[in-house]
Amino acid sequence: MIKLIHDLSHIKSEKFDNHKFISKRRILIDKVFCSVYSTSLFVNLERKFRDDVRDKYISYVDKIQDFKGHTQGLKFPLEINGDKEIAWINISLREPHVAKVYFNVIRLYQKEKNIPIPTYGYNDTNFLPLEYNDTKALLMEFIELYLKTVLEIKEIYADYLLQLFGIDIKNYWKGLEKKEIKDLVEVSPFQIEIPCEYLGCEDEQFDWMDDEIKCSTVEKFGDLSGTTYYNKNRKDLKATFKRYQKAPGINRHEITLQENWARDCMNSDSENIYQNIITSVHKAHRLWGLDFEGVKPRPINGNVLISQFSMGFGLSNDEIKTMIYGNVGEITSNRENQGIIRKLRNKGMIRKLEKDEGGKKGVYVWTEMVKLLRMSLNQYFLCPECLTRMQYDYENYCHYCPACKKVIRY
């Protein structure tokens, strides 16, 4: 099992008040795919296929592509978080037993730091809460976690070779000086995802990119995530790019580095990897005709967002406005509102108020998703009279215009 120790005590969370949500950009490391091998085994082993080992572990047999092409391997889980497999290894049954390894740095980070798996994502749970926003410190934490994981993988690979094939890597080293496992095993990334996340932002604020990006195809999906692929089917690119809404207030621009771009970025020490990631992000944006520092959210009218959420959740605009802006803390189920209760519950927007919270039968409260929607959307409402950005009064449940004093109550 991958065991990593991390400390986030030095990171200070930023506080967001009721009328101002500060937009920040964070860069992380997400999914990593690596090739793992030992050059000593390439030199000293034949290329025979180990049928005997395959037959012994037949339930673990999986497809794999090694240095000679497609063959069979043995795939084992390395780490589980909840019901998610967040790291695995697949070792070729053909000598010299090259392995493919996958690990998800965000999910490893969630588990190591005991961060509750979020329930308010639009498609999955592979993201951090908004308060993790100390951008450089957080990226450095992720890099250290990546490097520690790589060291763990080297040891795991050597252990599996010994247990499965009876191969002790140290016995195949022919040099005069003594070497440790970390020096005898290579971990070479061939694909790595680098999310650039814009906090406090919604997808529509970046629609302008569809017109300015240099690519042959733009493919956008109409669900709540609004996933947009640029040149989706191009297989020859060293970096691919897509953007989507991960959760309320988290707009992710996902860069995937391929082959030598991934390898050159991650094979170094922590300080150099940090610089390499920043450089790679800039280089990938230039590949698409964009300036990374020029990618900024555009202000939009909150009504546009409300219409988008209305279509996504299958609710009317008024129902969405009541949910986001209205003075509704609890909802009590009765014979007349079963339809809307069922719809909100199925969409993950309400939950039962438990007994230890003072709840009673049929009483529901808003989930974290709705709370984040409120936090995110309250900054985008424009005054219908003078188009000034309105502020939200959390005590009186209304928007008010600081310019012309117009008030909209819910």
- Residue ranges with strand state E in 238-344: 239-247, 250-258, 330-332
Does residue 4 lie within any of the structural domains?
A: no
- The pLDDT of residue 282: 93
Residue 273 carries which side chain, given as an amino acid letter?
Answer: I
- The pLDDT of residue 38: 95
Domain boundary among the residues 254, 274, 294 is at 294
Closest CA to 60 of 152, 163, 168, 172: 163
Domain boundary among the residues 273, 294, 315 is at 294
Q: Cβ-count burial of 126 within 10 angstroms (0-12 exposed, 13-18 middle, 19+ buried)?
A: buried
- The pLDDT of residue 6: 28
**Cα-based torsion angle of the residue sequence 341, 347, 352, 357 in order, rounded to the nearest 10 degrees:** -130
Q: Is the pLDDT of residue 203 over 60?
A: yes
Does residue 21 lie within any of the structural domains?
A: no
Regarding whether 141 and 162 lie in a shared domain, the answer is yes
> Domain containing 144: what range?
26-294
Regarding whether 201 and 276 lie in a shared domain, the answer is yes
CA distance 399 to 406: 8
- Tokens 């959740």 map to which residue? 313
Q: Which residue has the higher pLDDT, 225 or 110?
A: 110
Residues 4-37: pLDDT tens digits?
A: 322 323 323 333 233 233 358 999 999 999 999 9
Q: Kindly give the residue spans of alpha helices, DSSP state H, lying in 288-393.
A: 302-313, 317-325, 338-346, 368-377
What single-letter DSSP state applies at residue 383? P
DSSP for 34-45, please give it. EEEE-HHHHHH-
Domain boundary among the residues 275, 294, 313 is at 294
CA distance 204 to 221: 13
What single-letter DSSP state applies at residue 232? T
Residues 153-199: pLDDT tens digits?
A: 999 999 999 999 999 999 988 876 888 999 999 999 999 999 999 98
Q: Is the pLDDT of residue 256 over 80?
A: yes
CA distance 404 to 138: 42
Q: 74 and 132 in contact (C-beta within 8 Å)?
A: no
Does residue 261 lie within any of the structural domains?
A: yes
Regarding whether 309 and 224 lie in a shared domain, the answer is no
Does residue 19 lie within any of the structural domains?
A: no
